Structure 1
Amino acid sequence: MIGKIVKGRSFKGCISYVLSDKEAKILATKGVLETDTKSIINSFYMQSMLNPKLSKCVGHIPLAFSPDDKERMTEHFMERLAKEYMKAMGIENTQYLIVRHNNTSHPHCHIVFNRVDNDGNTISDKNDRYRNEKVCKQLKDKYNLTYGRGKENVNVEKLKGAEQTRYEIYHAIKAILPKAQNWKLFEEALKQQGISIEYKHKGQTDEVQGISFKKGEHSFKGSDVDRKFSYGKLNILLDESNPIQKQQQEQQQATTSIETGNSVSENILSGVGNALSTVSGLFDIQPSYQDENEAEYLRQQALKKKKKPENRRGIRR
């Protein structure tokens, strides 16, 4: 179950789209005249005039469900989920329209509501994206709905505006992180892809509290791109003084040493094999190795050499 929050100015455009599908099915309405599409639009428009200063009075939330839950998504169950979602999001005491679509492989419905409630007050959108994720998770857990396969399967090309940019930043960070050994390299790699970093400091100090990523005209907090990309979690990976970062660098260096040891041992064995092959042609003998595990021996020596501490005078260890 995924909800996408959209706010707009035109009830005509939104409702015309929602009801344009030939197989569209109205599941529920409240406070609107259902005679025809025009009557529904006029109903929303008349109430919005109670608060003419609110420019984006149209609330539109598509709710999409996993194809794995398709058999469970009866009209009654989908309506129930949509109403519980609205209540948890604080969308109450206002007009709404819930319409089911069947034009995709995944079952979904559209909630259209008036952000001007029945008393002329504005339905708050404070932290609505965060609340949307929280409510969707609660409903998925409550009804044992299927969780999506994550951001990796999202078709970025089909997204638009800020949402598309957010996923572009996500994929860029995910690709760069394994290669970046420190903050400087991380910043430079992102810069090459048109992404800049902004740090949030604690008061007037140099202590960093948060991070944001900006591409074009859109900027996102690290945790809004992905929970793994908060400043604290990124710093664990990129801070050179951090034990985990040091361990990763040592492992990478050890791997390089091992590969070098393997290469050396392979060359030695290859040379020995060639020499013995020539000799065996004269004396008709089979090659014999004094140390059958020479490659493993060289590998261990390379590791010991790497781990052996340097002896420096005047430095206590």
Structure 2
Amino acid sequence: MIGKIISCSSFAGTVGYVMKKDQSRILAAEGIAPPDVRDMVRDLKDQTLLNPRLKNAVGHISLSFSPKDADKLTDAKMTGIAREYMERMGIRDTQFLLVRHLDQAHPHCHLVYNRVGNNGQTISDKNIKIRNGKVCKELTAKHGLYYAKGKEQVNRDRLREPDKTKYEIYDAIRHCLSGCQSWGNLETRLQEQGITTSYKYCGQTDRKQGVLFGKNDFTFSGSKIDRAFSYTSLNRHFEQLQRVRPSVEQPRYSAQSVGNLKAAADSYRSAFSGLFKSVNVPEESVNLGAFGLKGGVPLPPSDFSGGIAPELMKRRIGESHEEYIARITALIQAAAEAMLVAAAEHKRKLKERKANKPKIGF
């Protein structure tokens, strides 16, 4: 059972709508004289004179039921449920018209009532939507009626604006949310579907406290679309995703591969140190401590003897862990050998230069 509060400003238009020719049946009426529309409208308007300060005296609510309940919803049953609904909603001691419509597959009826009561009192509409939802759930459970779970059960084809757009935004957010990790992701994906995202801020600060979604010249706060889409709920959802990081697969290497890499690293460190000593660079200025540790590998410039370009140290796409460690080991070994050759060549040149240096006699 679903109750829909319908905004109306005219008894003539409202009564004229519910009294569809050959497609409606009057279930109950009080304080008015059916079936003539003009007579009923006149009766309703006359009573509003008891409370002329009330700007809008027209009350209109449709009560819809699932087609699965059609067999049990006789006219008497529907009338009984509608009267109980009115009592729980505080719609009492006033004029009303209850009409069943026969133009749809699902059973439904329309309740038109005067918000000016028989004694001139006002039939309150304060928090009417909240009260309506609560009463419908209670009556659905009490009478064993079918309860549609969630907005997914709503027939989109029958919706009118602005509900049609509201449900389009609901469906879009629900579809996009599973693939979004942040507000930015959600904004981008909704924008692709013609949906705008804007925010409400707390006073003159930059602290966000609400979110608005817009489409087709309609704008809705997130909580109006669905409680799960309020700013607080969505922000909590994204914060939880940021805290939960997917586990990273730890690379597994064979003992032989690790041993080969360690040996190559030792050779590299030795050759690296020896090369700098051979060119008279103080050993303490050479940082070898970080080699093989997370965060850095001391590499000479790529245009230097034994140099390794940093991009060569990165794992390639499609390269297995074993292939990667073998390639890096080979690079380090080649670099170490190149530095050993460079150091030996430097020593040879120094020795040759010393041998050819002219001797000065005294």
Amino acid at match of 1:5: I
1:234 aligns with 2:230: no
SS of equivalent to 2:63: strand
Q: For residue 235 of structure 1, report the CA deviation from its aligned partner.
A: 2.0
SS at match of 2:7: strand
Query: How far has the Cα of 1:107 moved from its partner?
Result: 1.1
Change (3 A) 1:190 1:217: same
Aligned counterpart, 1:305: none
C-alpha separation between the residues in 1 aligned to 2:216 and 2:104? 32
1:172 maps to a residue whose letter is A
Confirm or deny: 8 A CA contact 1:85 1:135 kept in the other structure. yes
Deviation at 1:61, TM superposition (A): 1.0
Q: What root-mean-square deviation, in Å, do the aligned CA atoms of Structure 1 and Structure 2 show?
A: 2.9
What is the total number of aligned residue pairs between the two structures? 254
CA distance in 2, matches of 1:197, 1:89: 36
Please give the secondary structure, in 2, of the residue aligned with 1:167.
helix
Q: What does the per-residue CA deviation read over 1:52-100, in whole Å, with 9 as the maximum and x for residues that have no partner? A: 4544322111111111111211222111111111122222222111111
Alignment of 1:28 onto 2:24? no
> 1:74 is matched with which residue?
74
Q: CA deviation at 1:206?
A: 5.3
The answer to whether 1:250 aligns with 2:246 is yes
- In the other structure, the counterpart of 2:49 is 49
In structure 2, relative to structure 1, the CA distance for the partners of 1:156 and 1:13 (3 Å cut) is same
Distance (whole Å) between structure 1 residues aligned to residue 192 and residue 51 of structure 2: 46
Equivalent residue number for residue 164 of structure 1: 164
Whole-Å Cα distance in 2 between the matches of residues 99 and 31 of structure 1? 15
Q: Per-residue deviation at 1:197? A: 3.5
**What does residue range 130-169 of structure 1 map to in structure 2 within 5 Å?**
130-169=130-169
Q: TM-score, normalised by structure 1?
A: 0.70
Distance in 1, matches of 2:25 and 2:42, equals 20
The residue number in structure 1 matching 2:111 is: 111
CA deviation string 1:183-228 (max 9, x = no partner):
1121232234443344445566655444343335533332321222
Give TM-score, length-normalised by structure 2: 0.62
Alignment of 1:199-238 (within 5 A): 199-201=199-201, 207-238=207-238
CA distance in 2, matches of 1:73, 1:202: 49
Task: Find the aligned partners of 1:36 and 1:199 in 2 and give their Cα distance.
Answer: 51
Q: Is the CA contact (8 Å cut-off) linking 1:236 and 1:245 kept in structure 2?
A: no
Q: How does 1:268-287 map to 2 (within 5 A)?
A: none
Distance across 2 between alignment mates of 1:179 and 1:131: 36
Q: Check conservation: 1:173, 1:190, Cα contact below 8 A.
A: yes
Check if 1:40 corresponds to 2:36.
no
Letter in 2 for 1:184: G
Q: Give distance in 2, aligned partners of 1:301 and 1:78.
A: 71
Cα pair 1:7 1:57 within 8 Å, conserved = no
Taking the aligned partners of 1:228 and 1:109, their CA distance within structure 2 comes to: 30
Which has the higher relative contact order, 1 or 2, with Cα contacts under 8 A spaced 6 or more apart?
1
* Per-residue CA distance 1:235-276 (angstroms, 9 max, x = gap): 23223xx3x4443x627x87xxxxxxxxxxxxxxxxxxxxxx
Q: CA deviation at 1:147?
A: 0.8
Match of 1:4 in 2: 4
Counterpart of 1:250, as a letter, is P
User: Could you tell me how far apart the structure 1 residues matched to 2:36 and 2:157 are?
Assistant: 35
After superposition, the Cα gap between the structure-2 partners of 1:35 and 1:196, relative to the gap in structure 1 and judged at 3 Å, is: closer
Say whether residues 1:85 and 2:85 are aligned partners: yes
SS at match of 2:47: helix
Task: Supply the AA of the counterpart residue of 1:218.
Answer: F
- Aligned partners of 2:187, 2:27: CA distance in 1, in Å? 49
Larger radius of gyration: 2
Residue identity over aligned pairs, in percent, reads 45
Distance 2:211 2:104 in 1: 37
Residue by residue, what CA displacement relative to the aligned partner does 1:1-42 show, whole Å, maximum 9, x if unpaired? 111111212212221221224152211111112362221121
Q: Match of 2:137, SS? A: helix
Distance 1:176 1:204, change over 3 A: same
Counterpart residue type for residue 95 of structure 2: Q
